[in-house]
Structures are given as C-alpha cells and as structure tokens.
Chain A
C-alpha cells in the first residue's frame, strides 16, 4: 500500500469518526442503565430507556400534535408550492425572477420573526373577525410553518418542472384534451415523484421545526418543543433511545430507497443491470425494495420484541448493591476516623444517635442494604428506584 492510500484511508476514517462518532456514542448510551447518558462506566445493558421514552406523557402528546400539524402542513404546503412553481413557469422571465425572490424570502427570514408575526397577525385577524376559535396552537403552527415550508416544496417542484417539456402539454391539448385533462393526465404524473419528495421534505421540515413553532404553538407543545424543554431540565438516556429510533427509521428508509433506485437503474439498463445480484433469481428477488423493507422491518420487530423481554433488574440490583457496599465501606472508614478522633479527645457519643445514622438509613442496621429491593426503606433505595421504573410496563 502506498503512503497516499494509507493517508487517504486514515483521513476517511477520521472523517467518518467525526461524522458518525457522536451518533454511535449516543446510540450506545441508550442501552446503558446509568442514569446519566454515558458509555463509561458501563453499568448494565438495558432496554428500559425505550420504555421510559414511551412512558413520557408530555413527549407522546407532543408527538401526536406534531403528527396532526405535520399532516396539515403537508396537505396545504404541497399544493401551494406546486401552484407557485407552476405560476413561476408561466411568467415572462423578468417577472419570474421577481416573484421567485418574493416566494423564497420566507426561507431567509429568521423563524423567530415568522413565529412572532404569525401570532400577531392572526391574533388581530381572529379577534377582528370573531373567529377566536382559530386562535389555537394547531392552527397558528400550521399557518406559521406553511409560510416557509411551502417555499421548500416550491423549490422541489421548480427543479422538476425545469425538466418538463412544455410541448407535452401542447400535444395533449392538440389531441383534444381540455387544459384540466392535460394537467391531470400529463403534468401531474410527471410531477408525481416530486410530489412524493416534497411531501416528505415538508413533513420533516414541519416536524423538526423549533424556532417558529415554539411561538405559534402557544400552550400546546409539539414533539420538538417538548423535547427541547425536557433537555432544558437535564438530559437522560431516554433521549438517546429516541435517537436510536430515529437513526433506525432513517436507515430503513435509506436502504429501501437505495434498493429501489438500484432496481430502477437496472431496469433502465444502467451499470447496475450488470451486477450479478440481478442475474440470480433468488438474490434478484431478495433485493426487491419491498422484500428489503419487509426483511428490515421483521428484523427490527424481532429485536424490539427481544429487547422488551429483556430484564436487566438483576444486573441493576447488583450494581446498586455494589454502590451501596462502596458507600458502606466509605462510611465505615469515616466512622473509624471519627472514633479515633473521639478517642483522642476522650468524648463518647452513643452510636444510634450518630448524625450520619439518620441520613444513611441507620448505621445500626447493617443488614438492610443487603436487601437488593428498591422498596428498601433506605434513602438510597428511593433515589435509585428510578432505575427499575422502565420495567414497570412488564
């Protein structure tokens, strides 16, 4: 191997480590039972954080809201974006560039400004027209997000429209189609892939938006805003669990899409058609995007089920026990030190009245910490009880 390739390889490795390292670490912390997201020290393998995540009512409610808002935004932003792109393509060049700038502007305006102005504007409108019922987080968030999300959709459509041969529409008209029929039967089918990607992009943009939403959502919360406020109160590994879920969904989508694209290219007779994978009927069937998707979903389903059956309470109890033992050790040392001091000063204090005794659950009952149960009256028992909480859905 030449020095060049060695350097190149090392560079690529470093680059990928930089890109994906944080994701890998975060995903790993989702399975560590430690209360704080960390890889080391590794305590116990656990799937409990997923349970905790789904058990978080505020997040789940936010997720529901996000879905409602996302669907609303897609349903409105996609047609608006399509209409904008079509209007642009019909205009003479000078007017087109002007209108283009106007339509793109919302992307450039800070989301905070959009959010605040949405509240102000719709506050006035709803109060002025007596349509006060519209002044709620769902409606405001949908209209607020549409202002810029539809511009994303429009960009997708413009890119696709640029490849549209306008004589196709003319041919349809010439063959007797009404303008409506030409639109439905010629232009829309051509735009179909772009409509798909625009819907996807607008859904994502709506889902992950924070800047605008945090204002317009009023007293409600979306998944993103709920997440943000949760992080503000301190992070825990259930967020890592969320990351694992998102990464998994992305991977499934990307792999299925890749299988689909390769197959399409192979069918079009491209480079991929010469791949031996498509020659053998078994591997050919296996690489069908539907099959790929099914295999992935089955595998993930299996892993999820196995994970939900996994019980880490024994290990966690052992870790807890270890911690308690260590605590006890420290306490014993301290007591020895105090006793030595007292012996020096010649003062004797009755043991049960020790100041530490109350705080640490009774020094006089050394047997108590030996019980691994969180129900233990020990103060530590209460504090560490949370570790076993994810298991409550069993």
Chain B
C-alpha cells in the first residue's frame, strides 16, 4: 500500500465503504467501495447523470450516504459538516463570489477563520504567485477570463489547506486549447502541493492523461477502478470497453475456453481472444468481443476475416477507415504512412485480423451509447 507514509505527513486518503446514495427510490450511487490513496490524482469518469456529482457532494459533506461510510484520513465523517471536513470542493461552475475582489475571494477561508487582514492579503498574494497570476488581487471576478477564474477557484480552495481537493468538471466551460493547458497546470499544482485530488469528468481524455487512477462509473455503479492504461487495455465490462476510447464490438457464442483465451463464434467467423476480467465461460454462453480500431490491422496472420471498405475519414496522422463485414460496421484506424505507403480505395476488399491478446471477450452488458 503506498499510503504507509511517515507520521508527520497527514493521512490524506479517502475510503468509500460500501456507500450508496438514494433519492427516494432512485439510486444515484450504488454500493461504491474503494480507497483513494494519500496524494493521489484520482478521477471519476462517467457519462452525464451517472452520479459523479452526487458522489463528490457526499465526500465533501453536503449529503450523507444513505448506506455505508465515508472515511477521510481514516476518520469516519458521519455527521461532520462540509465546513468541518478537510476537503475543499471546486464547483462545476466555480462559485466564485462576484461581490468580492480576487484577493478577497482567495482569502475568504482565512477571513472566516479570523485571520487578520494583513495576513490574509499576504497569503492571497502568495497563492496568486503560485497560480502564476501575480498582481490581479484587486480585480473584480467579472474582469477575469475563464482560465483565470479557474485558477483563482483553485487558489481559493487551496487557501483552506485541504487534505483533499475535489474538482467537479472544472474544465468543462473552457475551450479546447485552454482545457489542454489547464490539464498540465492542474497536474503540476497537484505535484507541488501534494494534496489528494479527486477529479470528476465525463471527458475520458482528461481522465486518462491526468490521473494516477481512474474509476469508471455508469448508472451509479463503479464499473472499474485502475490505472489509465489498464482501463484502456483491460476493460472489465462492456460499458468500460465501449465508453473509454473507440471500440468495435462483435456479439457471439463461446465455443470453448482454455486459460486466458477463449474462442467466440460470430457471424464473421470464429475468433480467439483474451478473456476480460479473468472470467470463466461455458460453451454456448453469449459474449461480446471488443477489438480497438488501431489493433485491427491488414495483413494480420491470426483471426483474419474479409471486409469491404465503405468510407474513410482522413485526419492527418491517422486515417479512419470504415469497413463492412457482413452486417457489422467496423472502424479501423490506420497510421498515415505518408507517400511511401498507400491508402486503400473505396469498395476495395480488405483482409483484416488482430492478435488474440488484443481482443477482449466480455459478458453481454449495456454499452456507453445506451447509457
């Protein structure tokens, strides 16, 4: 466990112990059970309405779990209000105080703790230096750009000196360029202050690039927790496979399994692929086979089949090729080999295949588009 830290470093872990949150009959979070380590950059990734904000509000103390416990730093947080928890939340729409200046905003946590005016200003200026916006302390919030507001909100949250910083889709209002820039910046700030970041997003790019670990949520259920590359390469459910990155799905019937590999009979032929999540299947079980577009390659020697190119989208470095094999539309990403290579033409027949380790067999379940 990485959180076996020396005593003087505070325990900044969060433990969700079988947490369920219900609104009437509706279950917004269903039996979440996971540990977020001290100093980790942890993301909750899921489509809109899957219960991410609900989860975050429960950690920060705005609502109590209907079932289960939230432990922060090993302490049970039941009955502890948001103003008493060592957490700071950055709201989806930031919630900066429009009637205060930037410096007053940042120093607000100190003001309510009775810190003197001079001290507050000093601390606000320090934090403004940290977020690389020195000298804007006397501006009004309305005079700031989106990215500046973003950083001021972070500075204000850090003024609390929280153990846990919770961020609710803080970048969703920014344009693409700024969003990418802020990703790097957030990560840098997190490394600098060593606080546990719990980051919420429905943008998989954000989650995969910034996080140490990611939890993928769907309909209130945490489907999978793991490092970004494991989430991408070893999805454990049909939802994760279809939500994170692009994927081709083929439905079929299991013919047999030996160890990690199983054979699946589909309308396009029988394929051998890795079994996701170490599950055991019987012959005759229904299952789904997922193959990533960039792992479907022409001139493969294993799991080969024929398809007809129906259309392509050129995007510089990669060429997105759409091909039909029987009734199934497939998506293939081909690296642009430049003038030395050659692109297939419309209506051309392609011979495709994939390595068995690059295909994942998963139980039938709901997919991202249905969520």
Contacts and interface: CB of A to CB of B under 8 A. Distances in A.
A165 B111 contact: no
Contacts of B61: 174
Given A173-B82, A175-B156, A181 B112 contact: yes
Interface string A162-185: 000101101111111110010001
Contact of A177 (B60, B112, B156, B157): B112
Interface in B50-66: 60-62
Contact of A174 (B87, B93, B96, B99): B87
Given A176-B113, A177-B112, A178-B112, A171 B83 contact: no
Interface in B322-349: none
Interface in B63-92: 81-83, 87-89, 91
Nearest to B142: A268
Query: Interface SS of chain B: helix, strand, loop or mixed?
Result: mixed
Given A168-B97, A189-B99, A175 B91 contact: no
A174 B97 contact: no
A190 interface: yes
B108 interface: yes
Contacts of A338: none
A152 B123 CA distance: 44
B95 interface: yes
A189 B97 CA distance: 10
Contacts of A189: 99
Contacts of A186: 97
A204 B99 CA distance: 29
B160 interface: yes
A318 B208 CA distance: 99
Interface string B159-173: 110000000000000
Interface in A117-175: 165, 167-168, 170-175
A168 B83 contact: no
Nearest to A184: B112
Interface string A36-64: 00000000000000000000000000000
Contacts of A170: 62, 82, 89, 91, 95
Contact of B160 (A176, A178, A185, A190): A176
B23 to A, nearest CB: 12
A31 B112 CA distance: 60
B139 to A, nearest CB: 14
Given A176-B83, A190-B99, A171 B112 contact: no
Contacts of B160: 175-176
Given A176-B83, A189-B99, A167 B93 contact: yes
Contacts of B356: none
B91 A172 contact: no
A175 B99 contact: no
A174 B99 CA distance: 18
Contacts of B62: 170, 173-174
Contacts of A174: 60-62, 82-83, 87-89
A269 to B, nearest CB: 10
B47 interface: no
Q: Which of A173, A175, A176 has the most CB of B within 10 A?
A: A175
A174 B84 CA distance: 8
A167 B89 CA distance: 11
Contact of B88 (A165, A168, A175, A178): A175
B62 to A, nearest CB: 6
Contacts of B113: 176
B109 interface: yes
Nearest to A166: B95
Contacts of B82: 170, 173-174
Interface string B212-223: 000000000000
A176 B60 contact: no
A185 B105 CA distance: 11
A277 B116 CA distance: 42
Contact of B95 (A165, A177, A178, A181): A165
Contacts of A165: 93, 95
A185 B99 CA distance: 10
Contacts of A178: 83, 112
Interface string B181-219: 000000000000000000000000000000000000000
Interface of A: 165, 167-168, 170-178, 181, 185-186, 189-190
* 4 nearest A-B residue pairs (beta carbon): A171-B95, A177-B112, A175-B109, A167-B95
14 contacts: A167-B91, A170-B62, A170-B91, A170-B95, A174-B82, A175-B83, A175-B160, A176-B113, A177-B108, A178-B83, A178-B112, A185-B111, A186-B97, A189-B99
Interface of B: 60-62, 81-83, 87-89, 91, 93, 95-97, 99, 108-109, 111-113, 156-157, 159-160
Given A171-B95, A176-B109, 4 more contacts: A171-B91, A172-B112, A175-B160, A185-B111
